[in-house]
């Protein structure tokens, strides 16, 4: 099937799309790695003074978009920067976060990544999240397992199956390491803080590292037991959500309410309901 031939994806195509997602994520990651540590040049704010975009974000997205346009010109595109949203004609749309963790990147904190996913009318078909700081690549396609490629080896992701300290086994909120994130808007953060204060005494501990894409992938890899966050956007979670699903984790939506925006929760099924009861 050529680009733009029909809507949807044939069975053999997810692998080809995943290869392109990987190429795009690595391209953006290598470009960012060259710019890391050179200082906060070309920085501007977006939705709030704390919601930053840098020249590096823009350069990464432009490079990725050029690659995708050259290889699949009829596909749609949704990117975080520069209001990049085109519908396309193929029934496929690429969803790209060219630098997830911009604030970390600008402060020299090595916790940021590039996320590239492609979706059809049913959801994400394939996705890749590349962490240049650790040279770790997380990938999944709808037709296959979630994988981590690192140090020249490939391993399948299954989430965390047991408690590393043997304290009652996995699946208990009381022994769970939970990752989360906070919105840029101060009024939303205040409401999130109230939810977090209710969760803290009920979980083993909380981590807030600043990259939703990596939080999702690290949960799929079993480095966290669970992850939840509100105010995330499609480009933050499109690839990571599929990776978590393919790792056997449950993915729940956190419905938007009068005081809190939409969000996502990822955990093993026996833990997901416990966490949702508190943060949902």
Laid out side by side, the sheet with 136-141 consists of 85-86, 76-79, 93-100, 113-120, 123-131, 136-141, 147-150, 153-156
Of all helices (H) and strands (E), which one includes residue 141?
A: strand 136-141
Residue located via tokens 């680009």: 3
Range 95-104 burial, b when 16+ CB lie within 10 A, else e:
bbbbbbbbbb
Q: How confident is the model at residue 143 (pLDDT cuts 50, 70, 90)?
A: confident
Residue of 149, 112, 155, 153 lying closest to 21 (CA atoms)? 149
Inter-CA distances, 235 with 39, 187, 277, Å: 25, 23, 26
Every domain of the chain and the residues it spans: 13-156, 173-279
How far apart, in whole angstroms, are the C-alpha atoms of residue 28 and residue 193? 33
Listed range (18-32, 49-63, 98-112) with the worst mean pLDDT: 49-63
CATH number of the domain located at residue range(s) 13-156 in this protein: 3.30.540.10
As a whole number of angstroms, the distance between CA 265 and CA 58 comes to: 29
Average pLDDT for 80-108: 90
Write out the H or E segment, with its range, that includes residue 180.
strand 177-180
Interatomic CA distance for residues 49 and 62, integer angstroms: 24
Q: Please state, rounded to an integer, the average pLDDT across all residues of the chain.
A: 89
> Are 13-156 and 173-279 equal in CATH topology?
no
What are 123's strand-pairing partners? 120
Tell me what the mean pLDDT of segment 237-264 comes to. 96
| pLDDT for position 248 | 96
* pTM score, whole prediction: 0.89
Is residue 204 a contact partner of residue 175, using CB atoms and an 8 Å limit?
yes
Q: What is the pLDDT of residue 167?
A: 53
Condensed to tens digits (0 to 9), the pLDDT of residues 153-178 reads 999 999 986 665 555 555 799 999 99
How many other C-beta atoms are found inside a 10 Å radius of the C-beta of residue 154? 11
User: Residue 13 and residue 143: Cα distance in Å, rounded?
Assistant: 10
What mean pLDDT do residues 131-141 have? Answer: 98
pLDDT at 170: 58
| 173-279: CATH number | 3.40.190.80
| pLDDT at residue 1 in the model | 35
Question: What's the rounded mean pLDDT across residues 230-247?
Answer: 97
- pLDDT given at position 36: 87
Burial of 214 (0-12, 13-18, 19+ CB in 10 A): buried
- Confidence at residue 10, expressed as pLDDT on a 0 to 100 scale: 42
């Amino acid at each position: 099937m050529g680009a733009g031939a029909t809507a949807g994806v044939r069975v053999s195509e997810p692998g080809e799309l995943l290869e392109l997602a990987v190429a795009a994520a690595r391209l953006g990651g290598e470009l960012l790695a060259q710019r890391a540590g050179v200082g906060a040049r070309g920085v501007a704010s977006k939705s709030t003074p704390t919601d930053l975009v840098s020249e590096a974000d823009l350069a990464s997205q432009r490079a990725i978009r050029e690659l995708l346009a050259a290889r699949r010109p009829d596909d749609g595109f949704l990117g975080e920067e520069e209001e990049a949203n085109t519908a396309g004609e193929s029934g496929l749309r690429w969803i790209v976060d060219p630098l997830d963790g911009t604030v970390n990147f600008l402060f020299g904190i090595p916790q940021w990544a590039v996320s590239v996913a492609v979706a059809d009318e049913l959801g994400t078909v394939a996705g890749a999240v590349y962490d240049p700081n650790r040279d770790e690549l997380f990938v999944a396609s709808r037709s296959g397992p979630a994988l981590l490629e690192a140090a020249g080896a490939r391993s399948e992701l299954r989430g965390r199956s047991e408690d590393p300290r043997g304290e009652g086994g996995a699946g208990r909120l009381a022994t769970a390491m939970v990752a989360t994130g906070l919105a840029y808007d101060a009024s939303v953060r205040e409401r999130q803080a109230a939810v977090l204060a209710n969760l803290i005494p009920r979980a083993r501990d909380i981590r807030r590292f600043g990259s939703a894409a990596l939080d999702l992938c690290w949960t799929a890899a079993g480095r966290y037991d669970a992850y939840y966050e509100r105010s995330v956007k499609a480009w933050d979670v499109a690839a990571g959500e599929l990776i978590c699903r393919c790792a056997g984790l449950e993915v729940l939506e956190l419905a938007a309410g009068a005081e809190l925006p939409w969000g996502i929760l990822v955990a093993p099924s026996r833990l997901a309901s416990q966490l949702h009861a508190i943060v949902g």
